Amino acid sequence: MTALSHSSAWAALARHRRDIADTRMRDLFAADPGRFGAFSLEAAGLFLDYSKNCITQDTVGLLLDLARQQDVEGACARMFGGEPINLTEKRAVLHTALRNRSDRPVTVDGRDVMPAVRAVLERMDAFANSVRDGDWRGYTGQPITDVVNIGIGGSDLGPVMATEALKPFAHAHVALHFVSNVDGTHLAEQLKWLDPETTLFVIASKTFTTQETLTNAHSARRWFLETAKDEAHVARHFVAVSTNEAEVRKFGIDPANMFGFWDWVGGRYSLWSAIGLPIMIAIGPERFAELLAGAHAMDEHFRTAPLERNMPVLLALLGVWYRNFWDASSYAVLPYDQYLHRFPAYLQQLDMESNGKSVTRGGEPVDYQTGPVLFGEPGTNGQHAFYQLIHQGTSLIPCDFVAAATTHNPIGAEAGAHHRILLSNVFAQAEALMRGKTADEVRAEMTKSGKLAEEVEALVPHRVFPGNRPSNTILMQSLTPATLGALIALYEHKVFVQGVVWDINSFDQWGVELGKQLASTILPEMESGPAEGAHDSSTTGLMAWWRANR
Ligand SMILES: O=P(O)(O)OC[C@H]1O[C@@H](O)[C@@H](O)[C@@H](O)[C@@H]1O
């Protein structure tokens, strides 16, 4: 048995779970008019209502005991303090330094990293401005009209998500494009409409060895040179974002056109670094600084607020509650904001790559569940697709609803009509999940509409909603760079706290390696076929089928 599953806080929660098995949220609301006030809080421009959870004050108390037992506060101090908490890679975890707007130094191995962080930001500012202002010219003297970011995973998802989310702030006459997939279709479809004379490529890769990114980057260069002819022109059209100067040089990009970052920035935590360059080109350095400031505000809240008033801690503990004590294997994030349409995809990497682990930090197998499957779609689309299962399926799927009080597009017959409809749907969904609909309520409703008793009884079981399905609602006044920064940081810290509770390393990702390794074995075998016995019959058969059918 692991220390966690053996611990007193864990056992107390398991007991409490049995005690409240028959407690219904709708009764808790009826009994306590102050429930909303008691289970909600505001931080860094975000408002969290967590009252629609299967919890009482006792539950929260026991979850906080678990957080204390697992030393969440100590772990938080160690992360912000630059200790090498990513044990398997012997690295500090300091994405918070990238958005540190205070004068506090941040030291790694005794050295303050802030001067280097600021220096890269200044170079990014100058470069982004020169592209936005049309001062950075292509090889024929024309300003840049299109920027293509080539990267994958953390070198893609954060920039795409934030660039989409902050579209209302993108005033420059520069269009952003993102290519990640090694499927040639992705690059080909993006390049179709672009002019090499006015296109700038940002090659984004922490390691600068990622197969997909390098393959796409080489093809982009070939496409560019078909028109530009002269290798010397590459310098005006290709810049790199990486920690690996030697590989950048090898690719043929002058280090003068490289924006660096550091091994203490994890890929999925890197949008605050030079990886955010496309975001900065889209929204400008001032707005990018607001994004950093919003995240910093959430960092300060996380670092200093007591656990019981700490938004990331509470969200994390609620996740643990359902994952480990209610057997909830998945979890939905449902942004009611079209601009956040890539937010669930971004969170999938953040959460599932961080906490999809099954050994403890000490290398012991866990005997409890860790990270859930995360999915989501922007509202209201999800309602007409998979919400059926959330309302009436056999699994418990906790949901986070995310919405802004105001819209950037107040359209409709009356100004803002669309937005009122959108928000009424968020509030209604959370209420419906919590309340459900009892058999008696179904009967009463149907009888009122004049249906025959027999017909009613046949339909009752189909029309009952079990309810008691949990959700959090996260609101902000408006989706801005600052509130987006706070929102992302909220989830980053949530994932961190869960990793601490589960005693896993949230900052490595060995699970992506095996597939990479096998693909590099299979690639040279594609044409000739593998040596006999090199693979199982399925893998060999699939390769043979491909050779016969291509
Ligand atoms: O930024 P690079 O080094 O190209 O890595 C891109 C992505 O690669 C994957 O294998 C993962 O490890 C991700 O965490 C990472 O974001």
512 lines ligand 1 (CB under 6 A): yes
pLDDT digits 0-9 by tens, 420-439:
999 999 999 999 999 999 99
Instruction: Give yes or no for a contact between 132 and 174, defined as CB atoms under 8 angstroms apart.
Output: yes
Put residue 529 in one of left, alpha, beta given phi > 0 → left and psi -120 to 50 → alpha. left
Q: Look at residue 1 in the predicted model and tell me its pLDDT.
A: 82
Distance CA 387, CA 403 (A): 17
DSSP letters for 422-461: HHHHHHHHHHHHHH-B-HHHHHHHHHHTT--HHHHHHHHH
pLDDT digits 0-9 by tens, 290-327:
999 999 999 999 999 999 999 999 999 999 999 999 99
Tokens 């934030």 -> residue: 162
- Which residue's CA is minimally distant from atom 4 of ligand 1? 205
pLDDT digits 0-9 by tens, 30-40:
999 999 999 99
* Two structure tokens written together for 454: 């027999």
Q: What percent of the chain has pLDDT over 90?
A: 97
Whether the pLDDT of residue 489 is over 80: the answer is yes
* Two structure tokens written together for 49: 């209502």
Whether the pLDDT of residue 172 is over 90: the answer is no
Q: Look at residue 355 in the predicted model and tell me its pLDDT.
A: 98
- Which residue's CA is minimally distant from atom 7 of ligand 1? 153
Average pLDDT over residues 472-497: 99
3-state secondary structure 74-133: HHHHHHHCCCCCEHHHCECCCHHHHCCCCCCCCEECCEECHHHHHHHHHHHHHHHHHHHC
pLDDT digits 0-9 by tens, 501-543:
999 999 999 999 999 999 999 999 999 999 999 999 999 999 9
Q: Which atom of ligand 1 is nearest to the CA of 513?
A: 10
260 lines ligand 1 (CB under 6 A): no
The string over 31-51, giving b where at least 16 C-beta atoms fall within 10 Å of a residue's C-beta and e elsewhere, is eeeebeeebebebbbbebbbb
Distance CA 29, CA 56 (A): 11
Distance CA 486, CA 479 (A): 10
Average pLDDT over residues 108-129: 97
pLDDT digits 0-9 by tens, 340-375:
999 999 999 999 999 999 999 999 999 999 999 999
Q: Look at residue 450 in the predicted model and tell me its pLDDT.
A: 85
Q: Look at residue 332 in the predicted model and tell me its pLDDT.
A: 98
Q: What percent of the chain has pLDDT over 70?
A: 100
Average pLDDT over residues 389-412: 97
Q: Which atom of ligand 1 is nearest to the CA of 204?
A: 1
Distance CA 420, CA 49 (A): 19
Average pLDDT over residues 432-449: 94
* Two structure tokens written together for 133: 């202002």
CA of 444 to the centre of ligand 1 (A): 56
212 lines ligand 1 (CB under 6 A): no
Q: Among candidates 399, 423, 427, 400, which has minimal Cα distance to 412?
A: 423
**Which of 93, 95, 149, 155 has the most ligand 1 atoms within 8 A of CB, as the residue to mutate?**
155
pLDDT averaged over the chain?
97
**Which of 182, 206, 213, 349 has the most ligand 1 atoms within 8 A of CB, as the residue to mutate?**
206
Task: Report the side by side order of strands in the sheet with 175-179.
Answer: 175-179, 146-150, 199-204, 238-242, 258-260
pLDDT digits 0-9 by tens, 80-109:
999 999 999 999 999 999 999 999 999 999
- The strand pair at 111-112 and 146-150 is best described as unpaired
Q: Look at residue 111 in the predicted model and tell me its pLDDT.
A: 96
* Two structure tokens written together for 542: 């699939």
Q: Look at residue 171 in the predicted model and tell me its pLDDT.
A: 81
213 lines ligand 1 (CB under 6 A): yes
Angle at 320 between CA 317 and CA 326, to 5 degrees: 130
* Two structure tokens written together for 516: 């990479």
Distance CA 278, CA 284 (A): 10
Q: Look at residue 452 in the predicted model and tell me its pLDDT.
A: 84
Distance CA 535, CA 529 (A): 11
Tokens 């760079």 -> residue: 481
Please give the biggest Cα pair distance in the chain: 83
Average pLDDT over residues 279-292: 98
DSSP letters for 334-370: EES-GGGTTHHHHHIIIIIIHH---B-TTSPBPSS--
Distance CA 433, CA 469 (A): 5
Average pLDDT over residues 269-297: 98
Instruction: Give yes or no for a contact between 273 and 261, defined as CB atoms under 8 angstroms apart.
Output: yes
Q: Look at residue 271 in the predicted model and tell me its pLDDT.
A: 98
- Tell me how far CA of residue 37 lies from CA of 20, 49, 61, 498, in angstroms: 21, 9, 17, 25
CA of 154 to the centre of ligand 1 (A): 6
Q: Look at residue 384 in the predicted model and tell me its pLDDT.
A: 98
- Which residue's CA is minimally distant from atom 13 of ligand 1? 153
| pLDDT band, residue 259 (cuts 50/70/90) | very high
Whether the pLDDT of residue 190 is over 80: the answer is yes
180 lines ligand 1 (CB under 6 A): no
ipTM of the complex model: 0.98
Average pLDDT over residues 52-75: 98
